[in-house]
Amino acid sequence: MTGSRGRTAVLFDFGGVLTTSVVTAFAELSTDLCGDPRLLLGLLSKDKESSALLVAHEEGRIGEREFEDGFAARLRAHGVPAVGEGLVGRLQSRLAPDPDTVALVGRLRAAGHPVGLLSNSLGDDCYAGFDLPALFDAVTVSRDIGVRKPSRRAYALACERLGVPPEETVMVDDLEQNITAAARIGLAGVVHRSAAATAERLHELLTPTTAR
């Protein structure tokens, strides 16, 4: 957790914050595919071709099916008999909304704080079941802006859409590296582990605002 007091606005990540853990979902799918819970995330972070596919998909340069087929080919190259079609859906089926964090978003908005979403998208329908425009004052998704976290440009655009400078904003994300990146342009940060812990930290960071 990083940052200082006096913030007024909050940006939330999606997967692993408004939903159950993406890391756990990847581990479960990886176990199903090959028995090794670490393989899928390991490839996406360390295998050059797999990483390039993920970046291209999250930035909107390739669609879900192209990502699935390309990643399945990388899995087969590592001895996993994977089929591309449905791979993202199998991951998403392991994610569920976190009602406590969704409720926290609502409380913050009701208290008068500008609240936005900044998300790296994975899958063409990864936000199904969430009415994002109703939940947030501004929605910034990587595939729509052509850039992804941890790029400084992603954070800057999200703050611009929210109408609040980075120096007044807190980023809530389940990945510490994304919090570290946000701090480079002035955002405070909370590494999300639970709605209760995040709410407590935001209470310390945010300045009370007149409810809208």
Q: Outline which parts of the chain fall under CATH 3.40.50.1000.
A: 9-20+96-205
In this prediction, residue 210 carries a pLDDT of 59
In this prediction, residue 6 carries a pLDDT of 85
The predicted model scores a pTM of 0.94
At 1, is the pLDDT very low, low, confident or very high (cuts 50, 70, 90)? very low
Q: Is the pLDDT of residue 116 over 80?
A: yes
Q: Average the pLDDT over 20-38 and give the result.
A: 97
At 161, is the pLDDT very low, low, confident or very high (cuts 50, 70, 90)? very high
Q: Is the pLDDT of residue 204 over 50?
A: yes
SS3 sequence, the chain? CECCCCECEEEECCCCCCECCHHHHHHHHHHHHHCCCCHHHHHHHHCHHHHHHHHHHHCCCCCHHHHHHHHHHHHHHCCCCCCCCCHHHHHHCCCCECHHHHHHHHHHHHCCCCEEEEECCCCCCCCCCCCHHHHCCEEEEHHHHCCCCCCHHHHHHHHHHHCCCHHHEEEEECCHHHHHHHHCCCCEEEECCCHHHHHHHHHHHECCCCCC
Q: What is the pLDDT of residues 118-157, one digit of tens each?
A: 999 999 999 999 999 999 999 999 999 999 999 999 999 9
Pick 9-20+96-205's CATH classification: 1.10.760.10, 1.10.10.10, 3.30.390.30, 3.40.50.1000: 3.40.50.1000
Q: What is the pLDDT of residues 2-21, one digit of tens each?
A: 546 689 999 999 999 999 99
In this prediction, residue 209 carries a pLDDT of 74
